[in-house]
Structure formats: structure tokens, C-alpha cells
Chain A
Amino acid sequence: MWEGLWTGMVIGFQTTMIPINIGLVLLGCFVGSFIGMMPGLGPITAVALMIPVTYALDPASGMVLLAGVYYGAIFGGSTCSILINAPGEAATVATAIDGYPMAQQGKPGKALAIAAYSSFSGGTIAVILLMLGAPLMANVAKSFQSSDYFALMVMGLTAVSAFAGPGGFLKALLMTVVGLMLATVGTDQTSGVQRFTFGSMNLLDGLSFIMLAMATFAITEGFLMVLKRQDTTGVFKAKNLASISDLRVTRQEFRKIAPTIGRSSLLGFFIGVLPGAGATLGSFLSYGMEQRLANPEEKKKFGKGSLIGLAAPETGNNAASTGSFIPLLTLGIPGSGTTAVMLGALIAYGIEPGPRMFVERPEVFWAVIMSMYLGNVFLLILNLPLIPYFARLLAVPRNILIPGIIFFSMIGVYLITFNNFDINAMILISVIALVLRLFDFPMAPLLLGFILGGLMEDNLRRSLVIYDGSMSFLWERPISLSINLVTIAFLTSPIIQWLLSHRKRDQSASPDAH
């Protein structure tokens, strides 16, 4: 095992350390930080916007760039949360709970520095775990058959809904189904029959995933900013930029947050490995764990600018983001919305993620992992001193920012196919997605369903052929059976939670309760 690990690291190191890839990691971190820092824009939008650029690169370089954009955007999102209390996405909401009060107390530089050190530590520890865990998982996955893959995909899709909580469970599940429906548009790969093409040549290959990603995230974000009249530049301009430059963290403060970083790294990583859980859960659970472990005096500081309260979610979300690469790289199952977009990019490069990628395209597999070391270092030594300057980007007026986002989204889609049909379809889908987002329906499950839909149908078909049309493949193989049992648990837990909460409410509302 160690020999294989060493060989892999050497391959990854050789691929990453060529000048163009070093430049791409740097560019990815920089662009990711910039986009992630924009209020309302998260890693999904950042990665989706950069995908068209990667089509001009080889797959390893493309993935290195996208990975850089991913962790750069998470880093940028934290900056935005701390400085103006406007988290770009759910994963940095917990960062704002203690980060923003710290900034309000005149310590924005310290808050940003702690966030950066925590992100770096969480990211680095998680990369080491990823390096050790991914090959192991890929080796286990080599024994997987179509029925196991089908079960895994169903589990991944169900998990995304289950982690949305009892209130959002059905909505997330419904959006997953809609994503799967959209995946059926085009020519059926096995029979060659056209489905839902309405006689249009443009739909023969199905809907483009990048078009769907841009429509549901990038353009809709732009629309939402216009609709809600969001303008954070004024809030930002009111802040004292000079105080951001003071990035000093004392040795005592480091000592105080060190155990938190260790615990949150491990928790975040293992949460990230679960399909569907992602960085949001990683950050909130780390925050919750530290709050529970804190002494009574420290507990009182939570929500009012606690150093531990800031370090925990920052470490947790970075470790979880790294952990989410395990299901992506080894099983081809994305652990989050952003890794779903990256999975789409890999498929577009002609690479099927999963254990075969580990064997057939080790340079891509290992380059992504090794580039993360480099990316974490770049983020710390380059982005941290640049924070005061980066922060000024928050003052870009929305009058320019929003048309710019929409323009780059449309151009990104147009440059892939040079077909105006995709732009028109994108406009239509963005309007529908906007309405659904206003109605509080999540878009990440839709994208996940769309990306996994084709693979899921293929594996289901193969399983049925192997088992002579019988559905017994769902329980005959121990691996499939175990995964399916987990899926059932995912499906039933929100229902049980929902029933329990209703029962509790009914009991408290009934007159006998008093």
C-alpha cells in the first residue's frame, strides 16, 4: 500500500509542479477568492464560471484549476462573512456567528487571520487524510458492480435530501427528481430512442450540464441580487479598512485554538466524506461540538466574537470540502453541489470518475490531491497578506458586478457549443430556477440529480440485465444491501423527525399538557 501511495504522490507531485499547473493553482486560488468574496456568490458559482476556461486545458490541469477555485472560493466566502456578515453560501454562515462580532469589535484583521490559519490547518490535515483514505477507498471500490454503483448513487441523492433537514427534505427530494427528469432529455444511450427532444436537433445530446449549472446558480444569483436590491458596497465602505491590515495573532491565541483545529479537522473531514453532507454540515457540527466542549466562561463568549467559535467552523468547512473529494474521486459520487459540478467537468473531459480513474488516470487523481497542498500554502502565504486589498473588491459596484456575472455565464456557455440555442434555453431555465429559489426550493439537488441521472440509469439497466430482469440485485449482494439499508435510514429519519416534532407540538398545544 505504502509503495502505491508513494508512487501516486510522485506522479501527483510531478504533474502539479510543472510551471503551468503551479500558475493554475495560483490563478484558481486568486479567482476563487475573488468570486467567493462577492456577497451571494459561492463556490458552486465560482467553479461553474471557470469550467469553460478549463476546456482549453488537459484534464489534470483543468481539475487542478477547479480545485484551486473551490478552496479559494471557500476562503473568500469566509472573508465576506466576517467583514460584512453576508455569507456567500451556507457553509460560511457559522463563520459569521463569531467572525462578524469580532470585526465589529475592531478586530477584523485578527478574525480574518484566525480564519485563514484555521482554514489552512483544516485543509492540510484533511489533505493528509484524503491522501491516505482515497487509495484505500478506491481499492475497495474496485470490487463494486453495477448494482452497488446504482445503490450508491441512490444513496448519494437521498443523502442530499436527508441532510436538508425535516423541513427541507421533501423539497430537496423533489428537486432531485426534477434533475433526474432533465437528465432523461436527449437520445437514450442504449436504444438510440429520442426522449423529450420535441423534434429539435439541439436536444439530441441532451441539456448541457454547464448550461444548467450557470442557469441555476450564476445567473440566478445575479437575478436575486437585482430583485432583492442587494448592495453591500455601502456597508463595506463604512468600515475602517485600516484595521483590516492588523493580522497579528498571539501565541496564547494560537494555543487556545489549536485543540479546536485538531478536533474540527477530523470531524469536518469525516462529515465531508459522507455523500451529500458537505461543508455546511461540517462547519455547523464543528461549531456545535466546540460549543458543547467549551468551559462555562468560554461558552458565554460564543456568538459574541469567540476565537474558538470562529476557528471551529472555518476548520470544519475546509476539512469537509477536502473530504468531499473522496466520494468524488473514488466512487464518482459527489459529496456536495460543488463537487457535483466538478464531476460534470470530469465527465465532459471524457473521464469517468471512480476506481477506474484511480488506475487509468492516476495523474488526474493524484494531481488534484497534491495541488491541494500547494493551494493551501498559496492561500495562506499569498492571500492572507493580500486580504486588505482583496477586501476592497467588495466595493465593486453591483451595477457592474451583476451584468458582468451574467455576461461571463452566457459567454461561458456560448464558447463551448457556439450555439445560441443553449443561451436561449439558459435564459428560460434561469427564470424558472429564479421562481423556484424564491419559493425556497434548493438547486444543488437538481444539479446532482441531473449529473448522476445518466450514470444511474446505465447502472440500473446493467444490473437488470445481469440479474435477468429481477430486482433481486437490490438485496442479493451484501454491498448493495448495506448501501440500500443506509438509504432507507436516510429516507426514514427525516420522516420520523417530522412525526416526532408534530407529536411534541400537538402535546404542548393540548390543554392537558398544562
Chain B
Amino acid sequence: MNVNMEKMGALFILAFSIAYGIYAVKIPLIFLSQGEALNARTLPYALSVAGIVISLLIIILPSFDKDKVTTVGEALSGLDWRRTAWLTGLMLVYSLSMPWVGFVIASIFFMAGGVMILGERNFKVILIASIPLVVVLWFLLTKVLGMYIAPGELFYILGGTE
């Protein structure tokens, strides 16, 4: 894409500022605060306007250093999107699975999965990078610092009791 990347970023925040302003109108006001100089809507209104004005300035004004302008195509090309997407997916799976399988199992799978996504194929390294780290951390948190970490639904389904 032959679009200047700072303009693209500003366009993105412009859309966010407009959406923010629209939702700011929907902030409920209690009767007494309607006549106040500063109510719950005042700052969001001002921020929305500021966001819109500054993003428009970035979009409209020429870039400060024209020689160093990078296009979106240049900025985003050659990057390892596939691995980053996999890693993001793994983070989501980790977050969603933790209440079910518990901290220890979910964390071991996250670390092992992350190491594998980044290209590690040596099974020994994968195991060393995941199991000892998570077990030691779990031990420190629960046994040394006395934190309570829920074991996960699976633990109870399998008949476990605390």
C-alpha cells in the first residue's frame, strides 16, 4: 500500500475518536449534574474533539521529515505475521483454557506451544523450557507466597477435592 504509515495510524485513531465521541453522548447524567460546569460527559467530549482535531492535523499537514516517510506497504512488508498470529491465538487459547484445565496444565501447554511456534523442534528443550519453569513458579506462588490459585474445573470433574 502506498499510504504514509503515520497518516494511516492517524486515520485509525480518528475513527476511534469519533466512536468514542458517539459513545460519550450516551453517558447517562444524573439530574443534579446536568447544570454543573464539569459533569461525567465534559471530559470525554473534550477528549473526543481533541482526538479528532489532532488526527486530522496529522492527516492533513505534510510530514515533518519528508525524506524519511515510510509507506504502510514498506512498514508491514517482510514481517513474520504468521508466527505472530499463531502466538496471539495461543495466548487466547491459554486465557480461555485456564479456568478449565487450571494454571499448571494451561501454562505448560502455553510455554511448550510458544517455544514450538518460534521454531524450536528439540523435544528436550521444549520440555525444559516449559515444565520446570511452570512447576517452580506454581510452587513459589502457592507454597512460598501462600497465594490461592484455583485448580480448574477439570480437577473437580475428575473428582478432586481441595
A 427-443 to B, binary, CB cutoff 8 A, 1 in contact else 0: 10001001110111100
Check A423 for interface membership: any CB of B closer than 8 A. Answer: yes
Asked if B118 and A223 sit within 8 Å, CB to CB, the answer is no
Which residue in B76, B94, B98 is a CB contact (below 8 Å) of A438? B76
Known A-B contacts A181-B20, A415-B147, A431-B88; A440 and B5 likewise in contact (beta carbons under 8 Å): yes
Which chain A residues border B80 with CB–CB below 8 Å?
Answer: 226-229
Which chain B residues border A194 with CB–CB below 8 Å?
Answer: 27-28
Asked if A439 and B120 sit within 8 Å, CB to CB, the answer is no
Asked if A403 and B99 sit within 8 Å, CB to CB, the answer is no
Asked if A420 and B99 sit within 8 Å, CB to CB, the answer is yes
Binds B, one of A59-67, A171-179, A320-328, A379-387: A171-179
Asked if B91 and A170 sit within 8 Å, CB to CB, the answer is no
Asked if A177 and B51 sit within 8 Å, CB to CB, the answer is yes
Per the bound structure, the CA–CA distance linking A479 and B128 in Å amounts to 59
Asked if A171 and B133 sit within 8 Å, CB to CB, the answer is no
| B residues 11-62 in Cβ contact with A at 8 Å | 12-13, 16-17, 20, 23-24, 27-30, 33, 36-40, 43-44, 47-48, 50-51, 54-55, 57-58, 61-62
Check A129 for interface membership: any CB of B closer than 8 A. Answer: no
Per the bound structure, the CA–CA distance linking A339 and B27 in Å amounts to 32
Which chain A residues border B81 with CB–CB below 8 Å?
Answer: 227
**Least Cβ distance of A258 to chain B in Å?**
38
Binds B, one of A132-140, A203-211, A344-352, A405-413: A405-413
Check B162 for interface membership: any CB of A closer than 8 A. Answer: no
Per the bound structure, the CA–CA distance linking A457 and B38 in Å amounts to 9
Check A461 for interface membership: any CB of B closer than 8 A. Answer: yes
Which residue in B54, B137, B145 is a CB contact (below 8 Å) of A174? B54
Check A501 for interface membership: any CB of B closer than 8 A. Answer: yes
Check A195 for interface membership: any CB of B closer than 8 A. Answer: yes
Which residue in A174, A227, A461, A501 is a CB contact (below 8 Å) of B79? A227
Which chain A residues border B38 with CB–CB below 8 Å?
Answer: 457, 460-461, 464
A 180-210 to B, binary, CB cutoff 8 A, 1 in contact else 0: 1100100010111111100000000000000
Per the bound structure, the CA–CA distance linking A420 and B92 in Å amounts to 10
**Least Cβ distance of B52 to chain A in Å?**
10
Check B153 for interface membership: any CB of A closer than 8 A. Answer: no
| B residues 109-132 in Cβ contact with A at 8 Å | 110-111, 113-115, 117-120, 125, 129
Per the bound structure, the CA–CA distance linking A435 and B88 in Å amounts to 13
How many A residues touch B, CB cutoff 8 Å?
Answer: 60
Asked if A410 and B54 sit within 8 Å, CB to CB, the answer is no
Across the two chains, which residue of chain A brings its CB closest to B16? A178
**Least Cβ distance of B63 to chain A in Å?**
8
Per the bound structure, the CA–CA distance linking A196 and B20 in Å amounts to 8
Per the bound structure, the CA–CA distance linking A194 and B83 in Å amounts to 39
**Least Cβ distance of B42 to chain A in Å?**
9
Per the bound structure, the CA–CA distance linking A398 and B125 in Å amounts to 13
Asked if B40 and A188 sit within 8 Å, CB to CB, the answer is yes
Asked if A399 and B5 sit within 8 Å, CB to CB, the answer is no
Per the bound structure, the CA–CA distance linking A227 and B48 in Å amounts to 32
Which chain A residues border B111 with CB–CB below 8 Å?
Answer: 403-404, 407
Known A-B contacts A403-B129, A406-B87, A411-B107; A171 and B114 likewise in contact (beta carbons under 8 Å): no
Per the bound structure, the CA–CA distance linking A313 and B136 in Å amounts to 40
Known A-B contacts A420-B99, A427-B88, A436-B12; A399 and B51 likewise in contact (beta carbons under 8 Å): no
Which residue in A188, A228, A498 is a CB contact (below 8 Å) of B64? A498
Asked if A439 and B54 sit within 8 Å, CB to CB, the answer is no
Known A-B contacts A191-B30, A439-B5; A402 and B51 likewise in contact (beta carbons under 8 Å): no
Residue contacts A-B, CB under 8 angstroms, 29 given = A56-B145, A167-B65, A170-B58, A171-B9, A174-B10, A174-B55, A180-B47, A181-B17, A181-B51, A184-B43, A191-B30, A193-B30, A196-B44, A223-B84, A226-B84, A226-B87, A397-B120, A399-B125, A403-B110, A403-B113, A403-B115, A404-B133, A438-B76, A439-B6, A440-B5, A440-B6, A441-B9, A460-B38, A469-B36
Q: List 5 tightest A-B contacts by C-beta distance, closest first.
A: A403-B114, A439-B9, A469-B37, A167-B64, A423-B95
